[in-house]
Structure 1
Amino acid sequence: MKEAVHKDNNWTICEECQGRGKKSRRLNKKVRLDYQNALEQFEKTNGEGIAPLKPKAPLYNCLKCSGSGLIPAENAPAPNPDYPHVAIIGGGIGGVALAVACLHRGIPFTLYERDNHFEARSQGYGLTLQQASKAIEGFGIFSLNEGVVSTRHLVHTPEGKVVGEWGVRKWIHSDERTAPKRSNIHIARQSLRLALLEQLGDNNAVKWGHQLLDFKQSEDKTIDLRFEVNGEIKNTKADLVVGADGIRSVVRTLLIGEKTPLRYLGCIVILGICPLSALEDVESELLDSATVFQTANGNERIYMMPFTSDSIMWQLSFPMSEEEAKTLSSLGTQALKEEALKRTQWHSPIPQIIQATNTEQISGYPVYDRELLQQELLENNGPITLIGDAAHPMSPFKGQGANQALLDALTLARGIYKGCKSKDFWKENGLRKSVLTEFESEMLERSAVKVKDSAAAADFLHSEIVLFEADHPRGSCLKNK
């Protein structure tokens, strides 16, 4: 990521590209003529066959904002009352990201979080920004001081034999000419969440301690929301409600019930964070804070990545019945650590890292997702929608949950900005027609392949496939079949 030139500045959208970060080039003459000819031929057949698709204009990065969609501003844009007021339910990464994107566009919002403060509970361990490593600039974040870039990825057998290697260092060593299009950035989930919260200005930007109880649409088409706050009931209104409240989303349950219940993926995950300082007597090139490695035996699989510049995160997973997984996770962190040690007496430095991990930095849980959400379940519910894990929860094995939540947030904010410039228009036509139908269609189509691939990974990462000798990410061979 490039260094931030205006690190402490406020941001507003770039008028050149309307905050999209990209501009459209005009279709060339040949493409336009080919489409017109195909359309004429189709019309001559009285609509028989398949109509030609109208070609989309090619996009290029806006030069004024360098593709971020944002430019520095003296002050954050004031909320524009012509835009709908957005109630964002959930102060995790997706919810805070949506709040930030609304702030930059002058879209009025209120961000509600059930926790009483930022550190109230664990918000997960580390995550890897993949597609979102570029999209994060769309939130005014041009550098992540806590982020670590990996340049090498290795796959081992339990004995330490390398059966796969890729990354910048591999390509350079093999004189590969093609450079990677983007870098994967590893960062603690809370560090990214804090970087986003800082864009909002202060701690008062979040309504902490607000547990959503229910909502209903009123006669004027606004949404009445009811919260429990410090044991008391609080009522409020919004034009648009966005559920960003995770895999066990209250908004989703109130909206569609249990039509798509949690789906167990057949395995448990045990997570831990170990400071490198606890490994003073362990020498390994794998602990250079720029290497990601995984080791597997066809059943158990451990994945290790830099958490910060001076710590490493590990994720052990293995098949287990749902009841056994629930029982193990309920026994506490010491039991989880003992189980992890028992299953990973493998090559160095794996046993040493797990042994050196403080039990306070260990957690474990059964892995779930949900059946793909169909847009029909949302389209009759008025101005209420879902993003992130509330919309498309997935297993952690492809590292896509946070990436998709960030893309959801940016896409929705851009859709509101584009579709609601005229208050009379969105009031008359409704937010579903003005914004939500198009947004949900794009979001669900984009995320569907990630949900499917993540579910598939829960199977193949715990099978012999992971041990195939190949210098590319595990599972790529499946896509070539």
Structure 2
Amino acid sequence: MKKVEVKKVENEASSWTICLECKGRGKKSRGLTKKSRLLYQLAFDQFEKTNSEGTPPVLPKGHLHLCSKCSGSGLIPSTNPPTADNENYPHIAIIGGGIGGIALAVACLHRGIPFTLYERDNNFDARSQGYGLTLQQASKAIEGFGIVSLDEGVISTRHLVHATDGKVIGEWGVRKWIQPDVKTSSKRSNIHIARQSLRLAILEQLGGNDAVQWGHQLIDFKQGKDVELHFQVNGKIKTAKADLVVGADGIRSSVRKLLIGEDITPLRYLGCIVILGICPLSALEDSNNSLLDSATVFQTANGNERIYIMPYTSDSVMWQLSFPMLEEDAKTLSIKGPQALKEEACRRTQWHDPIPQILSATLEAQVSGYPVYDRELLKPELLEKSGQATLIGDAAHPMSPFKGQGANQALLDALALARGISRGCRPLSQWRKEGIRKSVLSEFESEMLERSAVKVKDSAEAADFLHSEIVLHKSNAPRRRL
């Protein structure tokens, strides 16, 4: 097992503040080239000659390069975290204490942006242990939250695809393409980590549980000069105020429902169910199988069922079985609970070793399952009417789990929004007069929805082709549309 250490500095060694060199963006502009300036000037002169008819030329942006001062993280160590700047920045009400919501709070903390983080659960451990995540694009972005090491993270170096008899029909990863004695960079690798472990690592940047308003169920909010929010807390109604509301409250987002309604973009069933389980290697009689070396991801499929097994920690694996099922049948199976889910999973996967052994050894308490949903892509126009409120993560662009992009996109959303607020609401910006939507939200939402759209689309398509004959095509490449 290879642990993730982005740098040698420990997470708790220091607080963080934004790098003044790049203003917390991680990148700096080199400025426009002489050719770009000349082309723009020629286009602008031509525009003026036509008496300003048509569309005026847009001044191009300079090429960005990594900031050497902060190595691209946008942060530098600080003795203490910045003091919240209530005079210049808006106060953010973050609804949802999952990965995206906590990440946004951390990014705001580093920039002195005042915030309050609300979560409906009563405590951090209110939910089950959860599932494993694979950090892909976000494996670099986590440095932007001050996380310089992930002790619980595991890097995979081999990925195998099998037919049900164990025959390998696909293999990729650095162990196949690079000689064993060649040193590889962890920054180019996928990082596997338990959801709660990542969530805790981010929460620690806030100083722990006391930074979250636990047990706050959002009821509604009203927009005016500021936003008035109403929460149900211990059976009573509690009121709070903010300048901006950010819904980071998942696929069944209360904020989204209040802003857009459920009828315009309802949940969309993707035709399959997922059953998840976590199995400690110590529970297996034979844990010496080469597939269980804590650095291998493998999947097996038959054109209908498909199981994906990855390292969960250094001494356990997570499995994800999925297969097509009518929506009502999927709901019924899910409601029956862990015992029925495990029995169904075992019945469908009497395949090559060590799959039957892993599923059999998985405790029912570590089994869960659910029908797979997403939503139709949001159009920026729908959010344009949202005033002093916006959405991030699954609240904005829920997707199937089959591309492992949900947490990655939520982290990128959080960082982009915090950077947008820092830039758009800086002193002398007049954001209070212009409005937070014009100053920050419209640009942020446009970028977020464009970036995540392809991930939503690809994840939905994967729900089809991973449970079809396509997945059995022999190819040493990830299972995309072949």
TM-score of the two chains, using structure 1 as the length reference: 0.94
Q: Which residue of 356, 373, 392 corresponds with 2:378?
A: 373
Does the aligned pair in 2 maintain the 1:11–1:71 contact within 8 Å? yes
Conserved 8 A contact 2:281-2:287: no
CA distance in 2 between counterparts of 1:198 and 1:347 reads 41
- Equivalent position to 2:103, from 88, 97, 102: 97
2 CA distance for matches of 1:47 and 1:423? 31
Match of 2:9 in 1: 5
Preserved contact between residue 140 and residue 187 of structure 2 (Cα < 8 Å): no
Alignment of 1:136 onto 2:142: yes
The code of the aligned residue for 1:133 comes to S
CA offset digits 1:309-357 (Å, max 9, x no partner): 0000000000000000001111111111111111111111111100110
| 24-33 or 454-463, larger mean C-alpha shift | 24-33
Distance between the aligned counterparts of 1:462 and 1:83, measured in 2? 48
Pick from 310, 330, 339: which aligns with 2:335? 330
- Give the whole-Å Cα distance in 1 for the aligned partners of 2:363 and 2:407: 26
Summarize deviations over 1:204-233 as a string: whole Å, max 9, x none.
100000000000013xx2000000111111
Shift of 1:31: 3.5
Asked whether the equivalents of residues 246 and 391 of structure 2 are also in contact (C-alpha less than 8 Å), the reply is yes
Match of 1:235 in 2: 239
Q: Which is further off, 177-186 or 388-397?
A: 177-186
Cα distance, 1:469 vs. partner? Answer: 1.0
What secondary structure does 2:188 align onto? coil
Q: CA RMSD in A?
A: 2.1
With 119-128 and 303-312 compared, the bigger mean Cα shift is at 119-128
Contact 1:298/1:464 (<8 A) preserved: yes
The 1:213–1:431 alpha-carbon spacing in structure 2 relative to 1, beyond 3 Å, is same
Partner of 2:318 in structure 1? 313
Amino acid at match of 1:249: S
| C-alpha distance in structure 1 between counterparts of 2:401 and 2:446, whole Å | 23
Report the equivalent of 1:14.
Answer: 19
The whole-number CA distance in structure 1 between the counterparts of 2:54 and 2:438 is 29
**Deviations 1:230-265 (CA, angstroms, capped at 9, x unpaired):** 111100100000000000000000111111000000
Seen in structure 2, the aligned counterparts of structure 1 residues 83 and 346 have a Cα distance that, compared at 3 Å, is: same
Task: Compute the displacement of 1:29 (Å).
Answer: 2.2
Structure 1 residue corresponding to 2:255, chosen from 241, 251, 254: 251
Is this contact kept in 2: 1:337–1:362, CA < 8 A?
yes
Unaligned runs of 5+ in 2: none
| Separation in structure 2 between the aligned mates of residue 31 and residue 54 of structure 1, nearest angstrom | 9
- Equivalences, count: 475
Give CA-to-partner distance per residue, 1:282-330, whole Å, 9 cap, x none: 4311000000011111110000100000000000000000000001111
Tell whether 2:428 aligns with 1:438.
no
Distance change (3 Å), C-alpha of 1:45 and 1:345: farther
Report how far residue 163 of structure 1 moved: 1.1
- State the AA in 2 paired with 1:304: I
Aligned residue identity for 1:171: W
Q: Which amino acid aligns with 1:267?
A: C
Q: Distance in 2 between matches of 1:180 and 1:394?
A: 27
Tell me: CA distance 1:51–1:21, structure 2 relative to 1, closer, same or farther (3 Å): same
Distance 1:340 1:6, change over 3 A: closer
C-alpha contact 2:157 2:175 (8 A) present in aligned 1 = yes
Match of 2:270 in 1: 265
Q: Identity over aligned residues, as a percent? A: 75
Map of 1:44-63 to 2, 5 A cutoff?
A: 54-63=59-68
Cα distance change of structure 1 residues 282 and 10 upon mapping to structure 2, 3 Å threshold: closer
Question: How far did 1:176 drift?
Answer: 11
Matches of 1:382 and 1:363, distance apart in 2: 38
Q: 1:39 to 1:169 in 2, by over 3 A?
A: farther
Q: Structure 1 residues 467, 194: CA separation in 2 closer, same or farther (over 3 Å shift)?
A: same
For the residue of structure 2 that corresponds to 1:191, the secondary structure is helix
User: Counterpart of 2:384 in 1: which secondary structure?
Assistant: coil
Name the CA shift for 1:57/1:229 in 2 (closer, same or farther; >3 Å).
same
Q: 1:42 to 1:176 in 2, by over 3 A?
A: farther
The aligned residue for residue 308 of structure 2 is 303
Question: Following TM superposition, by how much is the alpha carbon of 1:87 offset from its aligned partner in structure 2, in angstroms?
Answer: 0.3
- Determine if the alignment matches structure 1 residue 212 to structure 2 residue 218: yes
- Name the counterpart of 2:172: 166
Q: Work out whether residues 139 and 196 of structure 1, in 8 Å CA contact, stay in contact via their aligned partners in 2.
A: yes
Match of 2:390 in 1: 385
1:79 match: 84
Q: Which amino acid aligns with 1:287?
A: L
- Cα 1:174–1:205 change in 2 (3 A) is closer
Residue equivalent to 2:35: 30
Is 2:433 aligned against 1:398? no
Distance between the aligned counterparts of 1:43 and 1:122, measured in 2? 64
- Does residue 428 of the first structure (1) align with residue 433 of the second (2)? yes
Distance 1:421 1:49, change over 3 A: closer
Could you tell me whether the CA contact under 8 Å between 1:294 and 1:301 is conserved in 2?
A: yes
Give the Å deviation of 1:426: 1.0
Q: Which 10-residue stretch deviates more, 338-347 or 115-124? A: 115-124
Distance 1:344 1:208 in 2: 40
Which secondary structure does the structure 2 equivalent of 1:146 belong to? strand
Whole-Å Cα distance in 1 between the matches of residues 174 and 47 of structure 2? 49
Distance 1:154 1:46 in 2: 63
- Alpha-carbon distance between aligned partners in 2 of 1:6 and 1:298, rounded to the nearest angstrom: 45
Q: How far, CA to CA, are the matches of 2:403 and 2:420 in structure 1? A: 27
- Say which is worse superposed, 34-43 or 104-113, in terms of deviation: 34-43
8 Å CA contact retained: 1:83, 1:423: no
Determine the structure 1 residue equivalent to 2:195. Answer: 189
SS in 2 for 1:145: strand
Amino acid at match of 2:249: D
Partner AA of 2:203 in structure 1: L
Task: Pick from 411, 415, 418 the counterpart of residue 410 of structure 1.
Answer: 415
Separation in 2 of the partners of 1:432 and 1:86? 13
| Shift of residue 124, structure 1, vs aligned partner | 2.8
In structure 1, stretches of 5+ residues that fail to align are none
Cα distance change of structure 1 residues 176 and 201 upon mapping to structure 2, 3 Å threshold: closer
Deviation readout 1:382-416 (Å, 9 max, x if unpaired): 11000000000000000000000000000000000
In structure 2, the partner of 1:341 is 346
CA distance in 2 between partners of 1:33 and 1:56 (Å): 14
